Chain A
Amino acid sequence: MKIGRIKILIILLVLFCVFPIIGQAAEINLSLKDKEIKLNQQFEVLVSLDTQDESINAIEGKLLYPDKLLELKEIKNANSIINFWVEKPHMELNGVIVFSGITPGGYKGENGLIFSLIFESQNAGNGNLEISDTKVLLNDGEGTRTNLSLVPLGIFISEEISQDQISYAKDDEKPESFAPEVSSVFDIFEGKEFLVFITQDKGSGIDHYEIKETRQRFLTMFSDWIPAESPYILQDQELSSYIFVKAVDKFGNKRIEKITPQNPIKWYRNYENWIIIVIVLILACIIRKILWEKINLKF
């Protein structure tokens, strides 16, 4: 009897030693706001991170979805825990979304939104959304990889046709303020001066950026805005232009930031000043003539 109990104890000990204790792992969760999906319905899938009490500052991966059942309509990253995207979430192939980014200082929490996806159901049936080829790194200064737990999200699309439209919250807030910066490095962009910029929009998310370079102070309205992405190679490599960067969110709200020229041109080289001088002189002559005639009439 005693020997039997000892044998059981030994077996249990061996089991504990052979099979490692399953430690906590960070989790990437996929969740649906709408439990029931009908045909031709738009719905949102949230991709979020539970760090399981660790501080995580970098993440990359792929999200696979059944492209026979679903059409991707929009990728949203407003309010993401990711501050800087190495690869902004985008469709690499049909049914594959890739993403990669960092959070300086790290994120520690249970429900950190990475991004969300708006799909429209195209066909009825069952399918899975899953995360693959994923890395999650600790905020330890070493880039240490941590364990990750992934659970696919099963969806079922019924034959019933949806009559509803997805509703979007109104966004009338401008994007966040930001500070564009000019820099140059000799072994990238052939050593040319380039501009870096980024901001967030807490409402609908950033849609695009535009840039304007102009040496004029008053006639900037005649310069064109150019769609741009960071990093942007400056057209004026002499750094004599005012640089305006406009961030536009998905509702059309705008935030414009300005950089003054590092090497402003001399006033006499700015044709704008000469135009103003000529206009003022002409006006002065006209006023002088009118006043002179009035004085003559009086006398």
Chain B
Amino acid sequence: MKNGLFLIIVIITLCFLGTVYESVSFATSVNVSADVQGLCGNGIVNPGEQCDGSNLNGESCTSRGFSGGTLSCNATCTFNTSACTTVSPGGGGGGGGGGGISIPVVQTAVNFSGKAYPLSKITVLKDGQKAITSIAGPDANFNISLSGLSMGDYTFSVYGEDKDGLRSSLFTFSVYVTSGATTNISGIFISPTIGVNKSEVRKGDNIAIFGRSIPNGDITISVNSDEEFFSRTKADIDGVYLYNFDTSVLEMGQHSTKSKVALNGEISSFGRMVGFLVGTKNVDASVGKTAIKGDLNDDNRVNLVDFSIAAYWYKKTMSVEIAAKEIDRLNGDGKIDLADFSIMAFYWTG
């Protein structure tokens, strides 16, 4: 019996050693819910949708925490509570809550919704740091919720990454988050991704400009030269676009290209620029793959680590290695200064 008791104690000890005991409390301040959009617009509330057309899934303004009004459904299959009403506290004007009526507690949260590319990875940055990632639906719509925030001013950035690993430019906006309120940011239209098939193209040959955007979107491609050239094409049902640009109209030398998309009256801004050389020979873009601007530690990201590396060399004489990177991935003026940090901030990924 005493041997059995001893054995039990040893087993308990081994179990105790195997557990992870948290001696400090770790913040899990951000509660995440990511809704992957299904077939929005089919009248059926699919998983990831709050509503669809006139189908409100049995919800009303009252069930959403308001005192009355009319609940409707946005084109993104999220609730539209703009016509819901609340009772204002005495002496106040509009908004707010409280007074003598009991209102369900609302988390301090921000909802992001918009369009990117089908099944693309969507990343939300909060004050420059990665807060949450999600996947857009097959229709390119996304709806992401970020909660557990404090009251105050935030800078949020949203960008998409397509299946080929190409990233869009940052869609950035400043928001004041109110305690106990949910802020809805809708209509985010992510710029197309863009790539070229040649880093150098022989003058007169074609260069393929391609990328991803929203399905069936109208793509406008700008090629920068002394004179700016605009071309138009259409994204296919998977959001892929491709345009063969005749370089005979371009001068010899360095050029760049960017694109934007329009659909149903909505237009994105121009996205990232990609450079190419018009010269005397064709060089595939995959040969000697171009490093990302601002990425100083070769991890394919531009974030606080790169910022810290640049800050280390700020106003100092650079080593040979960092000087080479400064030429390749920053502005190449032989020193780390504010302009280099500005370039890094533009290409930031978090």
Contact = CB atoms under 8 A, between A and B. Distances in A.
B308 A231 contact: yes
Interface in A182-238: 183, 185-189, 194, 196-203, 217-218, 220-221, 230-231
A121 B342 CA distance: 37
A36 interface: no
A115 interface: no
Interface string A144-184: 01000000000000000000000000000110111101010
Interface string B128-152: 1110000000000000000011111
B342 A139 contact: yes
A98 to B, nearest CB: 12
A58 interface: yes
Contacts of A58: 338-339, 341-342, 345
Interface stretch (B16-24, B56-64, B84-92): B16-24
B304 A181 contact: yes
A99 to B, nearest CB: 11
A113 interface: yes
Given A60-B338, A104-B157, A217-B23, A196 B5 contact: no
Interface in B223-259: none
Contacts, number: 196
Given A176-B150, A177-B30, A178-B129, A143 B24 contact: no
Contacts of B264: none
Interface residues of B, number: 69
A19 to B, nearest CB: 27
A274 B109 CA distance: 46
Contact of B5 (A78, A220, A267, A288): A288
B314 A220 contact: no
A185 B125 contact: no
B84 to A, nearest CB: 28
Contacts of A10: none
B125 A104 contact: yes
Contact of B338 (A79, A137, A202): A137
B309 interface: yes
B152 A102 contact: no
B29 interface: yes
A97 B114 CA distance: 42
The secondary structure that dominates the A interface is mixed
B172 interface: yes
A94 B16 CA distance: 58
A11 interface: no
A241 interface: no
A288 B346 contact: no
A182 B128 CA distance: 18
Contacts of A257: 26-27
A58 to B, nearest CB: 4
Interface in B297-313: 297, 303-305, 307-309, 311-313
B345 A102 contact: yes
Given A84-B307, A218-B23, A288 B2 contact: yes
B343 A143 contact: yes
Interface string A108-141: 1100110000000000000000000001011111
Interface stretch (A20-28, A39-47, A68-76, A277-285): A277-285
A8 interface: no
A143 B154 CA distance: 23
B166 interface: no
B307 A105 contact: no
B25 A256 contact: yes
A197 B308 CA distance: 10
The listed residue with most A CB atoms (<10 A of its CB), out of B10, B150, B313, is B150
29 contacts: A59-B338, A81-B153, A83-B127, A84-B307, A102-B342, A104-B125, A104-B344, A105-B157, A105-B171, A105-B345, A108-B174, A141-B293, A141-B343, A174-B29, A177-B27, A179-B129, A181-B304, A183-B297, A188-B312, A189-B312, A194-B308, A198-B129, A203-B150, A203-B152, A218-B21, A221-B23, A231-B312, A256-B27, A276-B16
Interface of B: 2, 5-6, 9-10, 12-13, 16-17, 20-21, 23-30, 125-130, 148-155, 157, 170-172, 174, 272-273, 293, 296-297, 303-305, 307-309, 311-314, 319, 321-322, 331, 338-348, 350
